[in-house]
A and B are shown apart, each in its own frame.
Chain A
């Protein structure tokens, strides 16, 4: 088997002193898609935030190896430059910075980190416009401030657009489906599927099984009470959809005892 791109061992994490993740183990190999499902408050988003190195989330125990490096020693920008991308559940508005300039700055920051030449606007724009078109992002958003005045769906598509431009090794989609109508969901899924490759992995965090109809996972993990309580193939997602999360929460409660 190939070397994992991501290896999480016994991860415990807390926010403001409250332990939220209580021992997560997860191995993601290149080319794999993992779905992480679970009820609200189970720790799904916390896991995504920890991976993106948000400061408010304190890792109290365990380790995360990303592409052979100790992720917990990296700053958020270094994690990004190493090839990890997180699509935010709530993309942030950055007033005054235009979207194209922002994404080009990000692309160039990554290229610089890797010792590659920076892209100028002439090289960047054609590639950018092509991806915008594929993701059905209106060209108006090229010169608007990052996420400012974007609808919920537009913000999510903008996340996928950034992912497409940054070409990460591992992408974490944190509830990218929430608030999307079915058409927007299909566009987002198409964008993700177009990027699938044997070298690129995805962790798709979602509350609902629906997204996983379009982005078909290799593995599904069920998170409850800060632990992975079940792992299985894509059929596990269907089972959850049918039975709801009640039984999972019971199981988690039992494990906690």
Chain B
């Protein structure tokens, strides 16, 4: 990818223009530390520029679709009116549209449309949730109601209200100085979910965070930023779900994303950063569901900061998006921390899905287990890059990594790369990757029992995908995924049944 200085300057000028306009109206624009953070982050983005194929961490993923375009900040477009070819038209997103996408059994729901909090589409029942009222840190804790257990609110409101945890944690864990996307996101920190699970709180119902990207005549970008603070001994489940609502399809019909790729589709670029701070003995499950259409570019970075004995599950289910980069970055800083990094990616057409794991063991006696399954059809391309870093003092580390891939067509491609950097001497690290086709013997076996070929293929794909779902804790999110995944797989039309 050769990029002249002028081109770079032009592309970056657009980011600078957007940034200057944004910095004036941003939440916390007058708060000195926020202002400084955004400016430093933008300067860092300007210096770094987007990575190229020469960058070892981006060897298999070209960012040409990104660097060739300029993007308007979606939240700068008034309301969620979308610009159509004929000018501005309001986009009707009603609750029914949202309900169709929401898994049954979730608790609080926070909805963002084009990067902005949409309170009328959200459902946060607690008195101190979503209204910008910040509980005083000096108030004595009362463990009686949900309201005291967890705060779920818009980050913009938490910033505006000067929530102390925001200053304490925002941009303190995932380093924007070393990554252009994190720098860009940090420069444009505006909104997202702020979730504070208090000490000892057990939040049963999953907290659902929905990002809706609405198509537009011009390319748009959003930089969702989530901050999840799970205090000591707390328990919670958080789901981030990314969906598209293209212009002209506001009825919200759930066409499988693979069928939607059209030439000249508008682009929506989401650049997400989620920082999770898991306190001692906290138990947290995080789900990242990417099911935007193929005009979406979705780069997400999940940082998991884990204290002593914190137990965090990260589950990624990627079935949509044209160009997807899924960064998962657990940092095990306390002894006995445990992390499960589980993922399923299903690509078809010309989709490109890049999974970049960077698992840092920074304390002794920590476990990490990575399992990623990829299903690739059409001309799609998948990447799994599993990096494990065991720091000097992280003795007795037990790190495991498995990446299994199914290629369903001659045109599909997968690059899988383990990378172990071990600076301690008493550790156990294993890794393995497989790439294969559908097992023809097993197919014949099933057909010889009367199961039609297409059904046999569907069952086998479902079984392969289920390996990932089986690692999720039983509950509403897993049930919803089990019901939905059949329809997301190549050749799948309806939800598959399981015993």
Mark A residues whose CB is within 8 Å of B: 52-55, 75-77, 79-81, 85-86, 88, 91-98, 100-106, 109-110, 113, 121, 143, 145, 162, 166
Interface contact A109-B464, CB-CB below 8 Å: no
Across the two chains, which residue of chain B brings its CB closest to A121? B499
Give bound CA distance, A100 to B462, whole Å.
16
Interface contact A96-B460, CB-CB below 8 Å: yes
Give bound CA distance, A95 to B441, whole Å.
12
26 A–B pairs (Cβ distance < 8 Å), ordered by A: A77-B451, A77-B453, A79-B448, A80-B447, A80-B450, A81-B450, A88-B445, A91-B445, A92-B442, A92-B445, A94-B442, A94-B445, A94-B460, A95-B442, A96-B463, A96-B464, A98-B499, A100-B499, A101-B498, A103-B449, A105-B455, A106-B450, A110-B450, A121-B499, A143-B499, A166-B449
Contacts of A113 in B (CB 8 A): 450
Contacts of A91 in B (CB 8 A): 445
Q: A77-B447, A80-B447, A121-B499 are in contact. Are A93 and B442 (CB under 8 A)?
A: yes
Q: A77-B447, A80-B447, A105-B459 are in contact. Are A96 and B466 (CB under 8 A)?
A: yes
Least distance between A51 CB and chain B CB atoms (Å): 10
Least distance between A124 CB and chain B CB atoms (Å): 10
Give bound CA distance, A166 to B449, whole Å.
8
* The one of A75, A76, A98, A109 that contacts B455, using a Cβ cutoff of 8 Å: A109
Interface contact B499-A109, CB-CB below 8 Å: no
B271-290 interface bits toward A, Cβ cutoff 8 Å, 1 = contact, 0 = none: 00000000000000000000
Interface contact A96-B498, CB-CB below 8 Å: no
* The one of B439, B450, B463 that contacts A77, using a Cβ cutoff of 8 Å: B450
Contacts of A55 in B (CB 8 A): 444
Give bound CA distance, A96 to B464, whole Å.
7
Complex A-B, nearest 9 residue pairs according to Cβ-Cβ distance, in ascending order: A96-B463, A80-B450, A106-B449, A92-B445, A76-B447, A109-B450, A101-B499, A110-B450, A77-B447
Contacts of B463 in A (CB 8 A): 94-97, 145
Size of the B side of the interface (Cβ < 8 Å), in residues, is: 24
Give bound CA distance, A102 to B453, whole Å.
14
Interface contact B467-A94, CB-CB below 8 Å: no
Contacts of B447 in A (CB 8 A): 75-77, 80
Across the two chains, which residue of chain B brings its CB closest to A53? B448
Interface contact B467-A80, CB-CB below 8 Å: no
Give bound CA distance, A93 to B463, whole Å.
13
- Give the number of residue pairs across the A-B interface with Cβ within 8 Å: 80
Interface contact B498-A109, CB-CB below 8 Å: no
B261 sits at the interface (CB 8 A)? no
Contacts of B451 in A (CB 8 A): 77, 105-106, 109
Contacts of B446 in A (CB 8 A): 94, 102, 106
Q: A52-B448, A76-B444, A113-B450 are in contact. Are A96 and B467 (CB under 8 A)?
A: yes
Interface contact B449-A109, CB-CB below 8 Å: yes
Least distance between A85 CB and chain B CB atoms (Å): 8
Give 20 A-B pairs besides A76-B448, A92-B444, A121-B499 with Cβ atoms closer than 8 angstroms: A54-B444, A75-B453, A77-B456, A80-B448, A86-B448, A91-B445, A92-B442, A92-B445, A94-B439, A95-B463, A98-B499, A101-B499, A102-B449, A104-B499, A105-B459, A106-B446, A106-B449, A106-B450, A110-B450, A113-B450
Give bound CA distance, A236 to B263, whole Å.
71
State which residues 418-468 of B face A: CB under 8 Å: 439, 441-442, 444-453, 455-456, 459-460, 462-464, 466-467
Across the two chains, which residue of chain A brings its CB closest to B498? A101
Across the two chains, which residue of chain A brings its CB closest to B456? A77
Across the two chains, which residue of chain A brings its CB closest to B452? A77
Least distance between A174 CB and chain B CB atoms (Å): 11
Least distance between B474 CB and chain A CB atoms (Å): 15
Give bound CA distance, A97 to B455, whole Å.
13
Give bound CA distance, A98 to B447, whole Å.
16
